[in-house]
Structure 1
């Protein structure tokens, strides 16, 4: 009888163990382990407020600015080249209008300006050579007299005293410096003239733009004799 009870208990214990193991195996089969890690998905935001670029619309280009820049560039490289460029612009405009009479005068005017530019450079060069030559002569004489008091090296300068020699040396040195400054001034005038002429070529001037100056009287409250009118000029603009 005792053996029968032990056998029954052993059978129940074995049955429980078997059921527990089978349940765990079944749970393992139903929930497989995911060993593959998936990469996170990046969310791309679309900015709907961004304006679309209109590629069909062309950007406005000011022809006067373009011509002015070209004229400056050419004048900086070679003085007078900008004037020739402006002359070509006017010639092309005259050809487009069918006008042939203005070519001669336009060419004469342009060559006259270029001639003045190079005439100025030539005169300045001659002046610089003369001032530099005389400066060296008086400088040498001043140095000789400083080292040899009472003596004169250049017989052509005997009529000049020591003070006059020093003054002449300073004057010619200053003249030489002024000539160098004048070189830059003429060069700058050449560039400015080319730029202004190029810009004015595209400046709109027609019959609808005019002005008129007429004499008139204005009221003057500060008067002592009862006359309130003061003479003035009246400017009238019409667009």
Structure 2
């Protein structure tokens, strides 16, 4: 009887143990562990050396453009400075080629342009002073004559300019307008000469770096061109053929 009781208890504990183990296995299969919560995630650092890097392209630098900007800047500050700067550029270019004969003529040409610039400014200044003085003389004469025409008291009338007695009132007014217009033209000419010397300095600076070698050629030859619409029955007509090789 005792053995039967022990056997019964053993079977009950065995049954309970098997059921507990089976339930644990099923719960593990149905509910997998959340590994994202259990294991902290670390930031993955990308190795930049492993990535393919594009080779940087070498930026093209135009020396003529840089020289042109410098020539403009110098000419804006002092008229003629850009021309002297271009002369220095050409001198360095000739020295690099080993040419010594072109220095004298290039220097003479540059100094000639600078002389023309300041000669033009000098002539314009003289013309401005002369026209301005003449304008003031005729303006004063016109004012005196206008005042004398309105003044009834002879004792209060102002004396006229003896050098302008031969001019009538209309001539005085016209001369005043002419000298005033000439003064305005001279002022405009100042700006024109100033702008021309800036443009000349820029163009010369760019041309110093303009490459012309044996690979560039321009050829103009006489030729014949077909003309189907000719009214005289000729299918060809003379023409010029221009060939550019570079």
* Aligned counterpart, 1:232: 239
2:239 is paired with a residue whose SS is strand
* Aligned counterpart, 1:215: 222
Counterpart-to-counterpart distance in 2, 1:180 and 1:228: 59
Counterpart-to-counterpart distance in 2, 1:230 and 1:136: 66
Deviation at 1:102, TM superposition (A): 1.3
* Aligned counterpart, 1:81: 81
* Aligned counterpart, 2:176: 169
Using the TM superposition, name which of 157-166 and 69-78 deviates more: 157-166
Deviation at 1:205, TM superposition (A): 0.2
Query: What are the ranges of 5 or more consecutive residues in structure 1 without an aligned counterpart?
Result: 1-40
* Aligned counterpart, 1:193: 200
Give TM-score scaled by structure 1 length.
0.75
2:224 is paired with a residue whose SS is strand
* Aligned counterpart, 1:184: 191
Deviations 1:40-93 (A, max 9, x none): x997997x9x984646x5422111111111100000000011111111111111
* Aligned counterpart, 1:146: 146
Quickly say closer, same or farther: Cα 1:71–1:44, change in 2 above 3 A.
Answer: farther
Deviation at 1:133, TM superposition (A): 0.6
Cα RMSD of the aligned pairs, angstroms, is 2.6
Quickly say closer, same or farther: Cα 1:195–1:220, change in 2 above 3 A.
Answer: same
Deviation at 1:94, TM superposition (A): 1.6
Using the TM superposition, name which of 150-159 and 197-206 deviates more: 150-159
Task: Determine if the alignment matches structure 1 residue 157 to structure 2 residue 164.
Answer: yes
1:202 is paired with a residue whose SS is coil
Counterpart-to-counterpart distance in 2, 1:99 and 1:238: 27
Counterpart-to-counterpart distance in 2, 1:53 and 1:120: 57
* Aligned counterpart, 1:101: 101
Deviation at 1:201, TM superposition (A): 0.5
Counterpart-to-counterpart distance in 1, 2:44 and 2:68: 48
Using the TM superposition, name which of 179-188 and 224-233 deviates more: 224-233
Quickly say closer, same or farther: Cα 1:226–1:58, change in 2 above 3 A.
Answer: closer
1:148 is paired with a residue whose SS is helix
2:149 is paired with a residue whose SS is coil
Deviation at 1:207, TM superposition (A): 1.3
